[in-house]
Amino acid sequence: MPLKIDTQAPDFTLASTSGTNFTLSDTFAGKACIVYFYPKDFSSVCTAEACEFRDAHGFFKNLGVEVVGISRDDIETHLKFKEAHQLNFELLTDEGAKVASTYKSVVPLLGMIRRITYLLDENHVIKAVYESMFEAKQHIKEMIKTLEKK
Protein backbone atom coordinates (compact mmCIF):
# COMPACT_ATOMS: atom_id res chain seq x y z
CA MET A 1 0.00 0.00 0.00
CA PRO A 2 1.36 3.43 -0.94
CA LEU A 3 1.53 6.31 1.52
CA LYS A 4 -1.83 7.91 2.23
CA ILE A 5 -3.26 11.07 0.68
CA ASP A 6 -3.13 14.16 2.94
CA THR A 7 -0.05 12.94 4.81
CA GLN A 8 3.33 14.64 4.81
CA ALA A 9 5.74 13.18 2.26
CA PRO A 10 8.98 12.02 3.91
CA ASP A 11 12.00 14.19 3.17
CA PHE A 12 14.99 12.52 1.52
CA THR A 13 18.34 13.17 -0.13
CA LEU A 14 19.57 11.21 -3.17
CA ALA A 15 22.19 11.61 -5.91
CA SER A 16 20.78 13.30 -9.02
CA THR A 17 21.57 13.36 -12.72
CA SER A 18 22.18 17.09 -12.21
CA GLY A 19 25.48 16.13 -10.56
CA THR A 20 24.39 17.33 -7.13
CA ASN A 21 22.46 15.79 -4.30
CA PHE A 22 18.71 16.29 -4.48
CA THR A 23 16.95 17.01 -1.18
CA LEU A 24 13.17 17.21 -1.50
CA SER A 25 12.76 19.95 1.13
CA ASP A 26 15.54 22.08 -0.40
CA THR A 27 15.48 21.41 -4.14
CA PHE A 28 11.70 21.68 -4.40
CA ALA A 29 11.18 24.04 -1.44
CA GLY A 30 7.76 25.68 -1.77
CA LYS A 31 7.06 23.86 -5.06
CA ALA A 32 4.42 21.31 -5.94
CA CYS A 33 5.96 18.23 -7.49
CA ILE A 34 5.53 14.74 -8.81
CA VAL A 35 7.80 12.09 -7.35
CA TYR A 36 7.54 8.87 -9.28
CA PHE A 37 9.16 5.53 -8.54
CA TYR A 38 9.87 3.05 -11.30
CA PRO A 39 11.65 -0.32 -11.56
CA LYS A 40 14.36 0.04 -14.21
CA ASP A 41 15.84 2.34 -16.84
CA PHE A 42 15.49 1.13 -20.43
CA SER A 43 12.73 -1.42 -19.73
CA SER A 44 9.78 -0.98 -22.09
CA VAL A 45 7.16 0.17 -19.56
CA CYS A 46 9.61 2.43 -17.68
CA THR A 47 10.72 4.01 -20.95
CA ALA A 48 7.11 4.64 -21.97
CA GLU A 49 6.39 6.23 -18.60
CA ALA A 50 9.48 8.47 -18.68
CA CYS A 51 8.66 9.61 -22.22
CA GLU A 52 5.07 10.40 -21.19
CA PHE A 53 6.36 12.55 -18.33
CA ARG A 54 8.77 14.21 -20.78
CA ASP A 55 5.95 14.95 -23.22
CA ALA A 56 3.66 16.31 -20.48
CA HIS A 57 6.45 18.43 -18.97
CA GLY A 58 5.06 21.69 -20.39
CA PHE A 59 1.65 21.05 -18.83
CA PHE A 60 3.21 20.41 -15.42
CA LYS A 61 5.63 23.37 -15.70
CA ASN A 62 2.76 25.75 -16.57
CA LEU A 63 1.16 24.78 -13.25
CA GLY A 64 4.45 25.12 -11.37
CA VAL A 65 4.75 21.36 -10.80
CA GLU A 66 8.22 19.83 -10.94
CA VAL A 67 8.87 16.17 -11.83
CA VAL A 68 11.52 13.77 -10.56
CA GLY A 69 11.92 10.03 -11.19
CA ILE A 70 13.52 7.54 -8.80
CA SER A 71 14.82 4.01 -9.36
CA ARG A 72 17.62 1.76 -8.10
CA ASP A 73 19.71 2.34 -11.23
CA ASP A 74 23.05 4.12 -10.77
CA ILE A 75 23.73 7.67 -11.97
CA GLU A 76 25.69 6.49 -15.02
CA THR A 77 22.73 4.41 -16.23
CA HIS A 78 20.33 7.27 -15.45
CA LEU A 79 22.45 9.68 -17.50
CA LYS A 80 22.41 7.31 -20.49
CA PHE A 81 18.64 6.83 -20.12
CA LYS A 82 18.04 10.56 -19.79
CA GLU A 83 20.14 11.32 -22.88
CA ALA A 84 18.71 8.48 -24.98
CA HIS A 85 15.15 9.72 -24.41
CA GLN A 86 15.85 13.45 -24.05
CA LEU A 87 14.25 13.58 -20.62
CA ASN A 88 13.67 17.11 -19.34
CA PHE A 89 13.59 16.28 -15.63
CA GLU A 90 16.04 14.82 -13.14
CA LEU A 91 16.42 11.17 -12.23
CA LEU A 92 17.57 10.12 -8.77
CA THR A 93 19.39 6.97 -7.75
CA ASP A 94 18.13 4.95 -4.81
CA GLU A 95 20.45 1.95 -5.13
CA GLY A 96 19.62 0.56 -1.69
CA ALA A 97 15.90 1.32 -2.14
CA LYS A 98 15.88 3.10 1.23
CA VAL A 99 13.77 6.03 0.00
CA ALA A 100 11.53 3.71 -2.03
CA SER A 101 10.95 1.69 1.15
CA THR A 102 10.03 4.85 3.06
CA TYR A 103 7.52 5.65 0.30
CA LYS A 104 6.11 2.08 0.41
CA SER A 105 7.32 1.49 -3.12
CA VAL A 106 9.23 -1.78 -2.75
CA VAL A 107 7.87 -5.23 -3.58
CA PRO A 108 8.26 -7.32 -0.42
CA LEU A 109 10.75 -10.20 -0.67
CA LEU A 110 11.80 -9.23 -4.22
CA GLY A 111 13.23 -5.82 -3.33
CA MET A 112 12.13 -4.46 -6.71
CA ILE A 113 10.76 -0.92 -6.85
CA ARG A 114 7.04 -0.73 -7.63
CA ARG A 115 5.69 1.82 -10.08
CA ILE A 116 4.05 4.44 -7.85
CA THR A 117 3.49 8.13 -8.58
CA TYR A 118 2.92 10.75 -5.89
CA LEU A 119 1.65 14.29 -6.42
CA LEU A 120 2.81 16.61 -3.63
CA ASP A 121 1.56 20.12 -3.00
CA GLU A 122 3.90 23.06 -2.29
CA ASN A 123 4.15 21.94 1.36
CA HIS A 124 4.96 18.39 0.21
CA VAL A 125 1.69 16.96 1.47
CA ILE A 126 0.55 14.03 -0.67
CA LYS A 127 -2.45 15.06 -2.79
CA ALA A 128 -2.69 12.12 -5.21
CA VAL A 129 -1.23 8.64 -5.57
CA TYR A 130 -1.40 6.24 -8.47
CA GLU A 131 0.02 2.74 -8.55
CA SER A 132 0.13 0.35 -11.50
CA MET A 133 3.07 -1.74 -12.65
CA PHE A 134 1.91 -2.00 -16.27
CA GLU A 135 -0.19 1.09 -17.04
CA ALA A 136 2.63 3.60 -17.54
CA LYS A 137 0.58 6.23 -19.38
CA GLN A 138 -2.15 6.12 -16.76
CA HIS A 139 0.24 7.54 -14.14
CA ILE A 140 0.54 10.76 -16.11
CA LYS A 141 -3.18 10.85 -16.95
CA GLU A 142 -4.10 10.51 -13.26
CA MET A 143 -1.78 13.35 -12.24
CA ILE A 144 -3.14 15.58 -15.00
CA LYS A 145 -6.72 14.72 -14.02
CA THR A 146 -6.02 15.63 -10.38
CA LEU A 147 -4.33 18.92 -11.32
CA GLU A 148 -7.14 19.89 -13.70
CA LYS A 149 -9.65 19.60 -10.84
CA LYS A 150 -7.92 22.43 -8.96
- Active site positions, annotated: 46
Long-range own/partner contacts, residues 41-47 (CB < 8 A, 24 or more apart): 41/71, 41/73, 41/77, 41/78, 41/80, 41/81, 41/91, 42/77, 42/81, 42/84, 45/115, 45/133, 45/134, 45/136, 46/71, 46/115, 46/136, 47/81, 47/85
